[in-house]
């Protein structure tokens, strides 16, 4: 790479940081201190200022690309190759309740011997693990062998008291969101990654698109599907944790008493805010019987009036079977399609198309991933409103902001592990919908911090 490219990246960093500081000053917010004790959700307010998300992405992407330019290529590859060390260290601290231990100890920190006593691990080994994370800015070593939480490690906090975690370990991740998601990935994905190459290079398994011939099934030594695996009594904790980990459309235009069907809606976490905000809508949450049981408990506790009035129903339904509801205004699929190989995605969509009325709207919430190259004017389906659904990063950055956008691309690999499935591209999604009787009409950004998570609107062909 030339010196001029380095200068370009440096200027992008300086310009974006200056813009961010200006926006923070105007909005009376601030970029929080990395060394702050624990994570305070209110400290994220600066990200909500219009223009801040873009400045953050450009600055961070330029920093990461500049690092790739300046470090020896072997350093970049070595860090990627040893990612399992990061996962091991993170999982150790997460499952050993280190963040909660340090939260209860306070900002002055705790000696590694005391930390180890509380969680039952060897202090020498734990100390090395925590120091390894500290060089990546997860936890802080205040003095030799004395550690404390920082803003990043604080996101692993379940918020529960240690005494409650120790007395009821099975409910540690209930209602926790991000910690549950981290535990899920570092448990299952780690086992999958260890066996992934063996499966991909197998002349049979490597080319299979069946949901029982996956990297997951080999890594977890099971001949069942990902979902059936969770139904086994030995895996109820994993199932419970996964349910809590999975926690743009103009709803105002729907007529009174319109019916919204949340297909494969889990326990109903996603759709509940809709039920609360729009009392004139009727909602059906559909999922498998084992999930419905949890869903009924969830609604009974969180929003009992919606159940008792009949405005919200939680029903058992396999989305591969004939859809019994024929008068839906909206079929809603959040993070469903990407869990299945293409042929299975198509079957789900066809079942819904067969049940759809002429005025039914299909809403799919999923990631739509750009390529790692700049698109030409006709690369996307220009007939779709919003087909240019994300803003390309300025030169010389990668158009998708590079490693700053790693999360949805990492999820794409997880989908390969679990299901022989994948995230979507615009062209792939358009073709899938058209082949099953749907026409893509619009995109709506769901998350201002993630341009790739989209609410995809389609109507019957």
Last residue of a domain, one of 41, 70, 99: 70
Do the domain assignments include residue 327? yes
Shared domain check, 34 and 147 = no
Do the domain assignments include residue 451? yes
Is 50 exceeded by the pLDDT of residue 376? yes
Do the domain assignments include residue 84? no
Catalytic one of 338, 406, 424, 444: 338
Do the domain assignments include residue 78? no
Question: C-alpha distances in angstroms, 227 versus 47, 214, 288, 291, 348?
Answer: 36, 13, 10, 11, 16
Q: Looking at the 3D structure of the chain, how many domains does it have? A: 4
Shared domain check, 151 and 25 = no
Do the domain assignments include residue 105? yes
Do the domain assignments include residue 75? no
Shared domain check, 381 and 351 = yes
301 is catalytic: no
Is 90 exceeded by the pLDDT of residue 454? no
Nearest to 158 by CA among 96, 76, 209: 96
CATH of the domain at 136: 1.10.10.10
| Residues paired with residue 334 on neighbouring β-strands, in sequence order | 365
CATH of the domain at 256: 3.40.50.150
Shared domain check, 367 and 258 = yes
Shared domain check, 307 and 416 = yes
> What is the value of pTM for the model shown?
0.71
Do the domain assignments include residue 383? yes
Structure tokens at 128: 């090395």
Shared domain check, 286 and 143 = no
Shared domain check, 165 and 181 = no
Query: Per-residue confidence at 444, pLDDT binned at 50, 70, 90?
Result: confident
Query: Per-residue confidence at 319, pLDDT binned at 50, 70, 90?
Result: very high
Shared domain check, 349 and 392 = yes
Shared domain check, 136 and 120 = yes
The residue range of the domain holding 143 is 89-169
Shared domain check, 318 and 222 = no
Q: What is the DSSP string of 19-48?
A: HHHHHHHHHT--PPPTTSSS--GGGGGGGG
Per-residue pLDDT of 183-214, as tens digits, reads: 888 888 888 888 888 888 999 888 988 888 88
Q: How many CB atoms within 10 Å of residue 19? A: 17
Round to the nearest angstrom and report the end-to-end CA distance of the chain. 49
The span from the CA of 335 to the CA of 337, in Å, is: 6
Do the domain assignments include residue 240? no
User: Is 139 in a helix, a strand, or coil?
Assistant: coil
Is 80 exceeded by the pLDDT of residue 266? yes
With a CB cutoff of 8 Å and minimum separation 6, the contacts of 173 are 158, 179, 180, 183, 240, 241, 244, 245
* Ramachandran class of 227: left when φ > 0, alpha when ψ lies in -120 to 50, beta otherwise: alpha
Per-residue pLDDT of 68-85, as tens digits, reads: 999 999 988 988 888 888
User: Is 353 in a helix, a strand, or coil?
Assistant: helix
With a CB cutoff of 8 Å and minimum separation 6, the contacts of 217 are 223, 224, 225
pLDDT recorded at residue 103: 97
pLDDT recorded at residue 57: 92
As separate numbers, helices (DSSP H) first and strands (DSSP E) second, the chain gives: 19, 10
pLDDT recorded at residue 386: 45
Last residue of a domain, one of 42, 70, 98: 70
Shared domain check, 273 and 134 = no
Shared domain check, 184 and 164 = no
Last residue of a domain, one of 195, 212, 235: 235
Is 90 exceeded by the pLDDT of residue 230? no
Question: C-alpha distances in angstroms, 48 versus 1, 28, 398?
Answer: 35, 12, 24
């Amino acid at each position: 790479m030339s010196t001029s490219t380095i200068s370009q990246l440096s200027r992008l960093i300086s310009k974006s940081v200056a813009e961010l500081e200006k926006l923070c000053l105007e909005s009376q917010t601030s970029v929080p201190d990395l060394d702050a004790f624990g994570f305070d959700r209110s400290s994220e307010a600066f990200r909500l200022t219009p223009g801040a998300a873009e400045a953050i992405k450009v600055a961070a992407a330029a920093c990461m690309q500049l690092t790739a330019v300046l470090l020896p290529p072997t350093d970049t590859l070595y860090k990627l190759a040893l990612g399992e060390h990061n996962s091991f260290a993170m999982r150790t601290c997460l499952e050993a309740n280190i963040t909660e231990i340090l939260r209860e100890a306070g900002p002055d920190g705790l000696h590694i011997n005391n930390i180890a006593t509380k969680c039952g691990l060897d202090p020498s080994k734990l100390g090395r693990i925590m120091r390894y994370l500290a060089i990546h800015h997860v936890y802080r070593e205040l003095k030799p062998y004395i550690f404390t939480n920082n803003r990043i490690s604080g996101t692993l906090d379940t918020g529960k008291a240690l005494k409650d975690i120790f007395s009821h370990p099975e409910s540690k991740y209930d209602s926790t969101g991000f910690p549950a998601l981290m535990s899920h990935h570092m448990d299952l994905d780690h086992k999958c990654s260890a066996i992934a190459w063996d499966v991909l290079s197998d002349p049979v398994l490597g080319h299979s698109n069946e949901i029982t011939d996956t990297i997951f099934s080999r890594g977890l030594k099971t001949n069942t599907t990902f979902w059936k695996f969770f139904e086994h009594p030995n895996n109820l904790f994993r199932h419970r944790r996964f349910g809590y980990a999975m926690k743009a459309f103009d709803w105002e235009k729907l007529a009174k008493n319109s019916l919204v069907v949340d297909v494969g809606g889990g326990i109903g976490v996603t759709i509940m805010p809709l039920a609360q905000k729009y009392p004139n809508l009727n909602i059906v949450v559909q999922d498998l019987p084992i999930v419905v049981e949890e869903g009924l408990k969830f609604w009974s506790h969180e929003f009992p009036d919606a159940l008792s009035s009949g405005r919200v129903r939680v029903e058992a339904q396999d989305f591969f079977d004939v859809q019994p509801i024929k008068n839906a205004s909206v079929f809603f699929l959040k993070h469903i399609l990407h869990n299945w190989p293409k042929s299975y995605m198509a079957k789900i969509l066809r079942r819904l198309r067969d049940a759809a009325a002429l005025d039914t709207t299909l809403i799919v919430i999923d990631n739509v991933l750009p390529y790692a190259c700049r698109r030409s004017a006709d690369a996307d389906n220009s007939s779709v409103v919003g087909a240019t659904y994300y803003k390309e990063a300025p030169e010389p950055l990668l158009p998708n902001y590079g490693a700053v956008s790693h999360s949805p691309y990492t999820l794409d690999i997880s989908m390969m592990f679990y299901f022989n499935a994948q995230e979507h591209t615009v062209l792939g999604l358009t073709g899938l919908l058209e082949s099953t009787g749907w026409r893509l009409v619009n995109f709506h950004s769901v998350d201002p911090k993630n341009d790739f998570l989209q609410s995809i609107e389609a109507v019957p062909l």
